[in-house]
Amino acid sequence: MPLYEASYAEKHAVVLDLGIRYTKFGFAGEDSPRCIIPTEIADPETRQVRSIYSYKDETDLYSLLVEFIHMLHFKHLLVSPKDRRVLILESLLCPTVFRDVLAKVLFRHFEYTKIELLLNLGQYFAQDLIIRTCFVTPLERANKFADKSEDITAAPAVQYRVDGSKTITIPGHIRETCHEVFFERDSDQLSLPNMILDAIVKCNVDMRKQLAENIFLIGGSSMTPGFKYRLSQELNHLLKTPYYSNRLKINKFKFHTSRVKENYVGWLGGSLIGASDLLSVRSLTREGYLNNTTVPDWCNLIYNTKSISDSFKWTL
């Protein structure tokens, strides 16, 4: 981005990733965010530091978002948000009230011209503590943990410093088994490896081999030591089961290695989209929002009709 922007030139779009723990913010087209900061701000009334997601109601959330987004622009980016475009990386399970209030803040208070929503399949528990102190155990050892009859020595406990002064003890058993939730099947017989294989099965036959050899993991949890190795073990183990052996003729899986940290690869993808022509044709305009005062929701079928899409000027 240039050091200054001419008044007649189109302003650079910004990319906003409001995570549960950390927020990533920067300009579209750049290879890294300008800032990665905790998603918290001093309460306008009490001046106590609060998380954005600890809001009590819509009014409280509106106040927190105004303060937080103002800080992002005028302290970290040093640009005015008025008449600017923004691409938002949104969690798939983001509450509707949060989306609506965020759009209200951006369109009405800061007067953004366009908003683009990009779904981000993030997890709430991908936090610094888990990445730094925990690891993913191999499949053979995980099976021994599942078999209560076998006596197995757990990993040593570690100390983790909190707020620079306090320390907490992370037991070895917790360090080694906290990521088993990714690989344990739920009531629908689904786990992370199952979902990957099911997605490949639903693709055309001639695409399956290429997809299996082009797996790209992003997000903080994928940075945990041993995660890729365990996932590869689980995938190869499931391939031998009758259900997948009859449907998939795959010999191996390959994982891409990111050139940047996995915890902000999602932001980087948003940066690439924000620098392309997609932002201008697949976005919600300020005019469309002011006419309807609502944001299209992917899980609401009413927004899939052509008449509603046209009224929002949402070009698909």
Angle at 24 between CA 68 and CA 230, to 5 degrees: 135
Residue 201 has pLDDT above 90, yes or no: yes
Residue 111 has pLDDT above 80, yes or no: yes
In sequence order, the 6+-apart residues with CB closer than 8 A to the CB of 14 are: 25, 26, 27, 28, 77, 79, 81, 84, 85, 86, 87, 274
CA distance 27 to 15: 6
Q: What band does 260 get if pLDDT is binned at 50, 70 and 90?
A: confident
Whether residues 165 and 242 share a domain: the answer is: yes
The residue among 265, 245, 247 whose CA lies nearest residue 255 is 265
The residue among 39, 118, 34, 114 whose CA lies nearest residue 82 is 114
Span of 134-138, 191-195, 236-240, 277-281 with lowest mean pLDDT:
277-281
DSSP symbols for 237-293: HHHTSHHHHTT-------BPPPSS-GGGHHHHHHHHHHTSTHHHHSSEEHHHHHHH-
Whether residues 164 and 279 share a domain: the answer is: no
In a domain, 4, yes or no: no
Number of C-beta neighbours around residue 73 at 10 A: 17
Whether residues 275 and 291 share a domain: the answer is: yes
Select from 233, 256, 279 the last residue of a domain: 256
In a domain, 43, yes or no: yes
Q: What band does 160 get if pLDDT is binned at 50, 70 and 90?
A: confident
Whether residues 170 and 80 share a domain: the answer is: no
Whether residues 18 and 109 share a domain: the answer is: yes
In a domain, 202, yes or no: yes
Tell me how many domains the chain contains.
2
* pLDDT for the residue 142: 79
Whether residues 53 and 93 share a domain: the answer is: yes
In a domain, 169, yes or no: yes
Quote the percentage of the chain above a pLDDT of 70: 83
Whether residues 178 and 250 share a domain: the answer is: yes
| Coil vs helix vs strand at 69 | helix
Domain residue limits at 181: 126-256
Per-residue pLDDT reduced to its tens digit, 11-69 = 788 999 988 888 999 999 999 999 999 999 998 888 899 999 999 999 999 999 999 99
| Coil vs helix vs strand at 3 | coil
Cβ-in-10-Å burial (0-12, 13-18, 19+) of 268 comes to buried
In a domain, 2, yes or no: no
| Coil vs helix vs strand at 102 | helix
| Both tokens assigned to 211 | 């997809």
* pLDDT for the residue 37: 92
Whether residues 55 and 132 share a domain: the answer is: no
Whether residues 174 and 79 share a domain: the answer is: no
Q: What band does 127 get if pLDDT is binned at 50, 70 and 90?
A: very low
In a domain, 312, yes or no: no
Tell me the CATH number at 217. Answer: 3.30.420
In this prediction, residues 104-123 reach a mean pLDDT of: 74
Q: What band does 214 get if pLDDT is binned at 50, 70 and 90?
A: very high
Q: Which amino acid is at 72?
A: L
Q: What band does 304 get if pLDDT is binned at 50, 70 and 90?
A: low
In a domain, 315, yes or no: no
Whether residues 69 and 118 share a domain: the answer is: yes
Pairing of strands 40-42, 35-38: unpaired
Whether residues 91 and 163 share a domain: the answer is: no
Angle at 49 between CA 48 and CA 53, to 5 degrees: 120
Angle at 266 between CA 262 and CA 271, to 5 degrees: 125
Whether residues 231 and 296 share a domain: the answer is: no
Buried b / exposed e along 192-213 (16+ C-beta atoms within 10 A): bbbebbeebeeeeeeebeeebe
Select from 256, 283, 309 the last residue of a domain: 256
Q: Roughly what angle, to the nearest 10 degrees, separates helices 227-239 and 192-201?
A: 50
In this prediction, residues 151-174 reach a mean pLDDT of: 80
Tell me the CATH number at 34. Answer: 3.30.420.40
In a domain, 314, yes or no: no
Please indicate whether residue 316 or residue 219 has the higher confidence score (pLDDT).
219
| Both tokens assigned to 125 | 């528990």
